Structure formats: C-alpha cells, structure tokens
Structure 1
Amino acid sequence: ALALAAFALCYIFYPAFEASLRPSGVDAQCRTFQSPSAARTSDSSEYSEEGDILLSLIIPAYNEEERLVSMLDATESYLSAESCPGLEMLRKAVRSTSNTGKKTASKSIGTTVEWILVNDGSKDQTSQVYESYAMDQLKTKKSKNTQMIWRLCSLSQNSGKGAAVQAGMLLAKGRYRLMVDADGATEFGPGLEAVSKFASSHEFVFGSRAVAREESESENHDDDTSTGTSVQRSWIRRLLQAGFHAFVVLIVGNSQVQDTQCGFKLFLGSSAQTLFRDLHLHRWAFDTELFVRAGRLRLNLKEVRVPWQEIDGSKLNTGTMSLIRVAIGMLRDMICVRLCYTMGIWVTEQPEKFDGKQADPSTSSKKDR
C-alpha cells in the first residue's frame, strides 16, 4: 500500500517535476519577414515599437501544412478589409483604457497586426507554407488600412501546444494578443468581434463553444447575429468536453467557466505576459492552468460565444485507448495544478488591480502566496 501511494504521488506530481527540470527561456528560432527580398533572424523586436502594434495573432501549429492556408486566407481577408469592426473595437478599447494623453494615444494607436506562427516541431512543410504565404502578402500589400508584420517562431522540438502558445505570447508586442488555432475552427471575423467587444473592461476574454451551443438551443432568433451560434462537433468531442468540464469544476474549482479548451482567447498584452511567463503545463491541460492563474491573479474574465465547427485533420487520436490515456493524463495534470498552487510549489506574480487603464509592463509586482 505504501509503495502504491508513493507511485501515485510520483505520478501526480510528475508534471511539476518535469517543469522544474525544464530550462528557463524558449529554445526557438524566430524570423521576421520584412520585405519581399529578405527575411532576417532576430531575437528582439526592433522592427516596431510595442505601442504601435494593436493586435498580435499567436498561431500554434503542428503538422498543419494542409489546413493552414485556408485559415490564413480567411483571417487576412477579414483584417485587410476596408472596414474591420474587430480592429476598430480594439482601437476604441485602447483609447478608453489608455493612461496617456489623448493626443499621444491617438498617435500611437495604429492598425498594425503582428502574425506569429509558432511551429511546434512539425515534421511536414508547415514553416515553408507559412513563409511562402507571408512573402506573397508582403509582395502584394493588399491592405492600405492595416499594416501586417509576419513572424515565424520554430521550436527546436515538439514541446506541446502550451509551450507553443507560451513562446508566441512572450514574443508578441501587441497591446492585445489573440490565441487562434491553425485549423480555422473558429470563424475569425465574428470571433474577433465577439471577444473585442469586451476588451476595454476585461483582461482575458475567451471564446466558448459551450455558451454558443446552449444559446443556440434555447433561442430561435438572436439579436446579436454578428457573433454567430454555429457549433458543429462530433459526439466524442462533446463527451470529452462534458467530462473535462466536470473535472474542472470538481478539481480546479472554477464552476463559472463553461469551456476552457476553445482555442480562441484574447488577452490584454500586460496580462498575457504575467499569465504566460511562469506557465508550467505545456500540453493538453495548459488552458486549465491559465484559468487557475487568472483566478489567483483576480483578472477580469469574460466568456463569449463564438461560431465554431470541427475541422477534419485533428491531431487527436480518437481511438478508445488513446482517448483513455489522454483523459487520464489531463485529469492527472489538473490535480497537479490544484495541489501545486495550493501548496505554494507554484506561485503567481500579483499585478496591480486592473482599473480600466493599460497596465505598465515594467511595473514590479508582489508574489501571491
């Protein structure tokens, strides 16, 4: 019995042990595509001042050569349109929350969008597909209203979606930073508009498939048609989502959040730095740790419905044994998160309370014990 208990403890705390052995920093090569003729390797963002970038898109990708272009096309078409409500909402949010003078704020608020694709050790042509697309966009320069900055970050090995998102968020320079999946499962335009509506009052706005499904089932018509209600999911994913949410409520203790796993999340830039700087989980359950950290930091959260549909080509093996292994692993990770933060093994840096003003990234903060 003692040996079994010791084994259980070792298994539960394995993610913490693994995280403690992980070297600090990100082992990645990052390239910024600046012109049709050249792309340079850089470890700093000298190409633009942080205040000039309105939105950073962080796109984690693993073997996405077949699905990537359609997602990039849909996203770029929306952002480069003459009228882009999502970006305009973010500009208004910056104006309403900026702690600088009106003249300075207006001057620094541009329409620059920073694209950061994080290649998580792909074995296919994901990087080449993205590079080719970025260079084509730089040549054509379709949009006169929105400046696009294209960056590629390549992890040295497959490290997990959480590691890829963490790397992208910490490299990003946008006032707002949006995590978006490479498969395009969330319809980008309506999704961005849905989360941007709350950017001025919330530091973390996340898309939800659960909210969309509930509202679409209870309402025949919706006045807010811009966000959509379409959620198309296989029964196995519905089952996994329901079970996972039950574990979140029981183990993590966050009963207010309906969907932690939707890959469409908007962060205030300074909050993203605080949340992702010391993120420990790098694989399936990293979203759960984000919500635990956000709760301990007392960030203002908002869950909004987004139009979502399942896209063929998922990397999740839906075989019975594979799903059981994934479920057990995610349950273990959630228990580990709860215990590590409760016992003080992992801590969070407590920033100043969000008061409707853009936080200063250089402000020092206390540790939350």
Structure 2
Amino acid sequence: MFSFCHEMGQYVEKILASTGLSYNLLMFYVGALLILAVFCMSLALYLTSSPFPRVVRYDNELHFLDPNSGEFKAFPNYYDPPTGQVLSMHQIDNPCQNFHLLAVPPMLDECLDYLEGRQKGDSKFSYEVIVVDDGSRDRTTDVGLKYSRKMGTNKVRVLTLVKNRGKGGAVTLGMMSSRGKFLLFADADGATLFKDIEKLEASAKKLISLVPVEEEMGNSSTGATEQKKNKEGEQASNDINWERPAVIVGSRAHMESESIAKRSYIRTLLMLGFHLLVRLFGVKGIRDTQCGFKLFTRQAARLCFSNLHVQKWAFDVELLKIAYYFNMRMEEVAVTWTEIEGSKVIPVWSWVQMGKDLMVIWFRYKAGIWRITPKIN
C-alpha cells in the first residue's frame, strides 16, 4: 500500500513538472472534473427517470391457465377487496438460477403440506400459492402447473411473465395478482423454513391491533398519530383487519456471526459494506433487509408495491423505505434459514450492484426525481 502511494506521488510530481501547473491548480482542475461528472450523472438520472413507477403488464400476464379445464382465467387484482380469509403466498423463480427447477418441488411440497394441515385444523383458514416464473429458461411453469392440476387453481396458480422483470418486478406482479388479507413472498429455493410464517403472522396481528384508524387507508404521508387500541375482538386470528398497514420482515440477523465464520474474507467485507450502505442511504432499524421472506397486510402491499420503482435485487430496501414513509408498523422476526447450494448470484457483482442501486435510490428520492403517491386511487 505504501509503495502504491509512493508511486502515485511520483506520478503526480511528473505531471506537475511536465505541465508547469501548481499543485493547487491541479487539484482545482480535478475537483472541477469531479463536479462536472456528478452533474452529468445527475442530469442523466433525472432525464431517464419517471417520478412514479410504470408497471408494464402484458395481456398474457393478466390470466392464468387452469390445466384441468384448459381455460385461461383472469387473475384478481390487489386493489379489489380480499376474498375470504386468504393467505397469499408467492414463490419467485429467478431466470438466472435454473437450479430452481430442482428447488421448486421441495419448497412447494413443504409449504403445501403445512398449509393443507393448517386448513384441516381450521375450517375458516384458506390460502393460495402463486408461483411466479420470471422468464426462466427452465420448466418452472410446467412444474407449477402440475401442482395446479393436483391441488386446483383455487389453491395453486402460475403467473408466467412474458419476459424477465427482475426480482422486484416479479414480486410486484405476483402481489398485484393476489386475493389474500395477508400477502407473503418467499424465494423458491426453500432456504427459509415455511412454518416460520406463523411467527410473522403473530407479529402482524399484534401490530395491526395498534395501528390508529387514521392510518388505515394511508391518507397521510406521515401517519404520525397516537397509537390506539382496536375494538374488542379485532385481534382474533380469523378476524384480520387487512386495511391496517403492517410489514413483517423475516430476518437472518441472528445468524450473522455464524455466517461470517463460514464466508470468505472478501464476501464478508462486501456484506458488511452493503449493510453500512443500507444504514447510510437506505433504512435504519432493520438489520436484514434482503431476506426473501416478508409478510404484508393487503393494505401495506397496495401502498408499498404501487410505489416501488426498483425492479432488481435492491427492491427490498426501497420497499422498507416506502413503509417508513407511510409510518407503517414494522417488525423484524428471526426465521430459520439454511443456505442452499447454488442459490446465490455471483457474490462480488451482486453486492457491488446492490450498493450502487442503494446510492441511486437515495439520490433519486433526495433530488425529488422519484416520488411516492400518498393515496390509493
């Protein structure tokens, strides 16, 4: 390191000697070039950005196939009221991870076994699973349709995207196609123990019992009001007030020391650097923003995903930023998580890309380039 700095010093001295510039004048030129570069980058971000998200959805993505009848039926819309006491669960398959063709069946088996068992024990409980195929190159859609044929499309549906949107875009379209009062998205690799959804639901039911009536429809940009108790009986497990916004974040933060011990130095450094950037440019108070296991009340999903700009890997951070904007009730809940071999994107590139996206998110909001719609029309 010392040798590098010494060589750089000699290089600067040669430049000064050959150009006749003073050191202060050289620093002035360097600073001016940096300012110009920042200005050009800012102008490019402004000209290429839309204040509000533009969700493109093709006609084929508005319908799902019923493999038993051969008919295409329309997906519901999350702007509609929920249908009964439904838990909507979304499995997202990423096109860069074709190993998911092998991972999807075990994950679906685990979650469907749990959901079926729960339904048998509680006649009022109902659910739906939406498998989102984000333009994958494998047979994820075919695998999902086998489950639709077996379970019926009232329980399992497949949303096949015409082209890849990125993880954020795939989750958004899955959420838009839901009919539940609680909406969960989970990665298709099955890294998180599905039964842990009970922890997230318990936390959500506790939090929505504290949300004041004034915040129910997201009519305030801040929602800064006193906490109130609900009417007696609203906390009953089968009486979910879906209009109260709450977000529950599955978390692996309790496993951080163990994961550091298993990771290489470069991956650990990149991970810690990303966490620092999240705290500086993203959200505070949530230790693990990237775990693919998050639960939303229907109203929270409407407000968050209708305002989501980011379509790629860093979308989780913007989701939480939007939730903070509306002053939603949030809680981080520890979940059982296992690292699945092959389920990671290229480590170095993913961390660098997400770090860049974080700073872009921060800048676009600070500069007023991106905006949030405070009400649902």
Q: If the length of structure 1 is used for normalisation, what is the TM-score?
A: 0.72
Number of equivalenced pairs: 300
Return the offset for 1:342.
2.3
For the Cα contact (< 8 Å) 2:50–2:370, is it kept in 1? Answer: no
Return the offset for 1:339.
2.0
Return the offset for 1:313.
2.1
The equivalent of 1:25 in structure 2 is: 56
Question: Which is further off, 177-186 or 9-18?
Answer: 9-18
Aligned letter for 1:194? K
For the Cα contact (< 8 Å) 1:31–1:152, is it kept in 2? Answer: no
Structure with the greater alpha carbon radius of gyration: 2
Q: Residues 263 and 10 (structure 1 numbering): CA distance in 2 closer, same or farther, change over 3 Å?
A: farther
The correspondence for 1:327, drawn from 346, 351, 360, is 351
Aligned letter for 1:172? S
The equivalent of 2:193 in structure 1 is: 187
The equivalent of 1:314 in structure 2 is: 343
The correspondence for 2:182, drawn from 172, 176, 188, is 176
Q: If the length of structure 2 is used for normalisation, what is the TM-score?
A: 0.70
Q: Aligned with 2:102: secondary structure?
A: coil
Q: Residues 328 and 312 (structure 1 numbering): CA distance in 2 closer, same or farther, change over 3 Å?
A: closer
Return the offset for 1:154.
1.7
For the Cα contact (< 8 Å) 2:106–2:190, is it kept in 1? Answer: yes
Q: Aligned with 1:66: secondary structure?
A: helix
Does 1:75 pair with 2:106? Answer: no
Deviations 1:299-333 (A, max 9, x none): 11000100001112225124xxxx1x333322221
Identity score, percent: 30
Distance across 1 between alignment mates of 2:120 and 2:68: 26
Distance across 1 between alignment mates of 2:320 and 2:77: 29
Q: Answer 1 or 2: which has greater strand percent.
A: 1
Question: Which is further off, 50-59 or 275-284?
Answer: 50-59
Q: Aligned with 1:183: secondary structure?
A: coil
Superposed, 1:1-369 pairs within 5 Å as 1=30, 2=32, 4-8=34-38, 20=50, 23-27=54-58, 29-32=61-64, 34=66, 36-44=68-76, 50-62=82-94, 63=98, 64-81=100-117, 110-138=124-152, 148-189=154-195, 191-200=196-205, 201-202=207-208, 203-213=246-256, 234-236=262-264, 239-252=269-282, 254-318=283-347, 323=348, 325-350=349-374
Return the offset for 1:52.
1.5
Question: Which is further off, 148-157 or 127-136?
Answer: 148-157
Aligned letter for 1:168? G
For the Cα contact (< 8 Å) 2:200–2:333, is it kept in 1? Answer: yes
Return the offset for 1:153.
1.4
For the Cα contact (< 8 Å) 1:50–1:175, is it kept in 2? Answer: yes
Which runs of no fewer than 5 residues in structure 1 stay unpaired?
A: 89-108, 139-146, 218-230, 352-362, 365-369
Which runs of no fewer than 5 residues in structure 2 stay unpaired?
A: 1-29, 209-245
Q: Aligned with 2:117: secondary structure?
A: coil
Distance across 2 between alignment mates of 1:246 and 1:301: 20
